[in-house]
Structure 1
């Protein structure tokens, strides 16, 4: 008589790989009941895919109603007295193994209302953005900064349990009782609150809006304080009595250069308002970036250049007694422009002869490369030559490899 003695269900998830394993294991006895001396173990295995990417969540403003994080979405303003809403989207970056609940609130308390007390993500909808809508239900006397706070997540997934989504700071409740020009940007992307661009073409964004309807057009000039680091999408913004409450974006695109100049600070500059409306003529913008200078939004352009030196050829073989010629030369050139003068000491590391004389000499001991817009200014892009000359001697023939800090030189004695 055969009888199944037990049924066991096990689940195993291997972190770091997109595979989870479910095994249903049957323990069967091939002998009489109670006689477990003759056992057989068999099972059924099923594989399914699980995303185990970086743990986290992303939050972004959503003014256009789509589910994509857009680098032109940078409005962080909401009108007072419930006159409008500011919408954000949130999604997880890793699939959870169980539901993830994230409570939401507004700080300071009482300064706004969220349309929901929490968002809940499951293993099936974790990468589908959910909406968070903020309404300012208060009457503020001045433009007021608030934030959306996320309490620690609650989940049976131990990775997500107690995980905290970063606070969304820099939201401005607009005081619609007095005229002002309000500039906002994402101050949450970097610890220093700056807009981040890069030499690879990464873009940043700032958004501009008025708080009251003007009696005449309001023009605000826009510029990059350093066009070698970043450029603006428009030279100016114009607000009318019809579009004054509609935020307008300014895109800031990082500029590339061939120089190893490091990451550079620069500013996105906004002029004071220009208008026949006395309320806006000469009015200075208000920004949510507390560390910026007046009229400016601080930015940071990431360098994408790394030092690179080209030596050609990599090896040479020369003979004693050979005259100086092409076979005795190396060329050295910088492939990226330096920010300052670069000096390269050159020396030969060789075994001296019995009379203390090196087996080879070089034509120069120092190469100097200067910065600038080469070749018109600076010489960093111009190859420089190093000549190696074997010293003649009466020692038995040997094969030696000589080297310097940049060059590898071989010759036969």
Structure 2
């Protein structure tokens, strides 16, 4: 199968000989391969083709076998046939197909082309694993975000995945939220950007912050971006409470300070005084995010000076990221004593008393004296403050003290304190004598509807002034009292006064009860119970006249009336027992509330009988609401013995 050479010689007489060599190409030599469009890489689950042809004409058919060194990569077809007629008519194609595998490693496949009398060739192809982590392409990510605002950025995969991939988006700052919190990319939309919205909430501190936005997921190469959150809160305000309006020389007072909002890491409030005689302690307060809402105490102290003038001081408050503020305070030269007309008062409950107040010295500026009562809530003063100026300081002002009534029977005490800025405190003691007087009440008998009863009332002790006792009925509107009030003086307090209690008729048949309350200013309350017996069903007696003896065949009469007026109509039923020959002309009698005392006549008759004996009978009178009565009947026989 070797190529050979042949020497061709030209010679002749008188001819300069020549020779030429020719190579004899053996048609049994190996044919070379020309490979085109061979891919450098192949994704798992995909296919690509390349082309193959011979680089010279074979003397006979040649078969090119195609094989893969990687079992996950297949070739189709696995052999190509070239003939002396088609070897250069066009290349033949081979398809490479990469299967999915379970690992996440990329690999290679060596594609070998060989055959009898074929010079073998091989090419390598990189297998791109679709289980490998996909990278992320993030665009338009903002560098900063204002509190209370939103911005968006975009995300896509950097390469096509073999299957769906989920990208989880999270924020490392609770004040920054992401929406949506996850993105799903598929083999179809992997290169299409999806948007994520970042939103920064308002917070009550005053610091700029950072938020780390993390993007991660299974088979995703994680990425993270940081964003600065720009705080939009104004400076923290100050809440100053109990700041004094004035301060006496040589004394001190306190007030409280807190922030009206949270500071950043911390905030310092610096305080200063415009008057060197007034000092502030401490001169600064430090607030953090944890104690900003808690009051801190500050003390103002006014030193004694040599002049005799009242002064002013401005207390200034300032600090970094703190709203500035200031307060004015008056500094009084010294405390002025109050002159009181009385140091004590004695009052009865319900009475008033007075005392007067003036200053002992002229003030440099106006002074307010405040009055406060301690010890007894029933003691009040009017007015509760007095204003003195440099012109009226020695004019006495009147204070009225009133002792209210209470329910107990004990004497009370109280104290009235007079105080104020630049005022030396004074006091007035108050003694209140209890004047409540008890009542002496007699018993009240039970009443019947339509009737009345009485009871008496007098005071249990002599009052210091007149008392009025008011009577009121509760429980039954049919019960009334007369009179409705009783007046007692310091002289007739022990004389019993009569109260009449009346019970009107009503339509029901129920006993009633009521209560009479006795009250009054300076009176210990009392009460009387009232029991009213209903008269609708009360039994009424009968008034019966005598019945004369009868003779057989004769008749006599008797009369019937009620013994008292009934509450309603009554029916009296008559029935005879004893002798069947005795009869009456009425079986019943009707009485009303108006004719109850009008006598009604009953005729009694005795019939003849055949015997010769005298007879007797009884007429019984009964009925609802009637006290039973009876009439005896004697009948003399008229037969000869």
| Higher relative contact order (CA closer than 8 Å, sequence separation 6+) | 1
Larger radius of gyration: 2
Q: Give the structure with the larger strand fraction.
A: 2
